[in-house]
Amino acid sequence: MLFWKSPDALVPERIGKYNYTVIYDQDGIHRLTYCMPTVLKDLASARGMSLPLLRRTSGRKLAQPLYMGNDLILVPLKMQTGKPSFGYVNLRSLRQLGAHRSSCSVYIKGGWEIPVLWSLSITASHLQQATPSNDFFIPVSCRSLCEKTCYSYDPPPN
């Protein structure tokens, strides 16, 4: 399987009766014929990690963030209606959040906008919970959730 070591986002997509995973990275958008669990398992395996072990260390039953390294923290977000699956956004690629009526969008590197079915407050809460407490990278939106409707993130230094 062709592999991306540091995706900006993994988004589930259903076309007809087939499930795909759309990968956003620095080279653009790629649609894989593999479903999300397979892509996550292969991503963890390529980094020498076990997906079940990563999930166990998160301490949560549902919507577990996956810490695959300092440059890859995958945060699960609800992106499909009627499906129990989640899409994942790399916390390091996140640039800002945008509010809509009952949902929001995340903006990642490259200017891509990805719609999320959760509200802005729920999405910001998940992002804040996924941010490592000993890390220097604290999203601005998680510090000032009530101040504005569009929040930007301080990118980590290179």
Domain map (residue ranges) of the chain: 9-152
Q: What is the CB neighbour count within 10 angstroms for residue 57?
A: 11
What's the confidence (pLDDT) of residue 112?
93
DSSP code of residue 82: T
Instruction: Determine the average pLDDT of the residues in 25-38.
Output: 90
What's the confidence (pLDDT) of residue 139?
41
Segments of the chain assigned E as strands: 9-15, 18-25, 28-32, 66-67, 73-77, 87-90, 94-99, 104-108, 112-116, 150-152
For 55-106, what is each residue's pLDDT tens digit?
A: 777 777 778 888 888 889 999 999 987 777 799 999 999 999 999 888 999 9
For 112-153, what is each residue's pLDDT tens digit?
A: 999 999 999 999 988 988 887 654 443 444 344 333 444 444
> What are the DSSP calls for 48-60, one per residue?
T--HHHHHHHT--
- pTM strictly above 0.75: yes
What amino acid occupies position 7? P
